[in-house]
Amino acid sequence: MAGPTRNFWDQRFAEGDTPWDRGAANPQLGIWLVTDALKPCRILVPGCGSGYEVSMLAQAGFDVTALDYAAEAIARTRGKLGAEGLKATLVEADALAWQPDRPFDAIYV
Ligand SMILES: C[S@@+](CC[C@H](N)C(=O)[O-])C[C@H]1O[C@@H](n2cnc3c(N)ncnc32)[C@H](O)[C@@H]1O
């Protein structure tokens, strides 16, 4: 059975119906960073949503590529990075079809 479509996610963002969005990065990511379980590397964040983890990883010195097929998710991530003076590569694409130009060291989902 097929999962949610791009239109489904676009609609959720458009309606502000985003109950998964905790307004901050997943606390587990912070634990992995302070314990050095995850060290700076080239990392992909597929389905980045509002970009909280993208921001935390960029702040910690990772080379981050954030990918989402919802334009609003990419816009939110871009806005957050800009407000914080951080940089990441942003890709608006379907994670199931997109091909990176070179491999990643890690993927955060
Ligand atoms: C439940 S939200 C989670 C967002 C974020 N990871 C978080 O934890 O707050 C799922 C996100 O994945 C994106 N997404 C789902 N399927 C995707 C796909 N095939 N390609 C790109 N993005 C996708 C949606 O647009 C949405 O932003």
**Which residues are registered as beta bridge partners of 44?**
65, 107
Strand positions, DSSP E, the chain: 42-46, 63-68, 89-92, 106-107
Q: What is the CATH number of domain 40-109?
A: 3.40.50.150
95 Cβ closer than 6 Å to some ligand 1 atom: yes
Asked if residue 54 has its Cβ within 6 Å of ligand 1, the reply is no
Indicate the domain borders of the chain: 40-109
Calculate ∠ Cα 85-91-93, nearest 5°.
155
Would you say the CB of residue 72 lies under 6 angstroms from ligand 1? no
Atom of ligand 1 nearest to the CA of 95: 20
pTM for the full predicted model: 0.96
Q: What does the pLDDT profile of the chain (109 residues) look like in tens digits?
A: 578 899 999 999 999 999 999 999 999 999 999 999 999 999 999 999 999 999 999 999 999 999 999 999 999 999 999 999 999 999 999 999 999 999 999 999 9
Nearest CA to ligand 1 atom 14: 47
Strands 106-107 and 42-46 turn out to be parallel
Instruction: State the alpha helices, DSSP H only, in 44-91.
Output: 52-59, 71-84
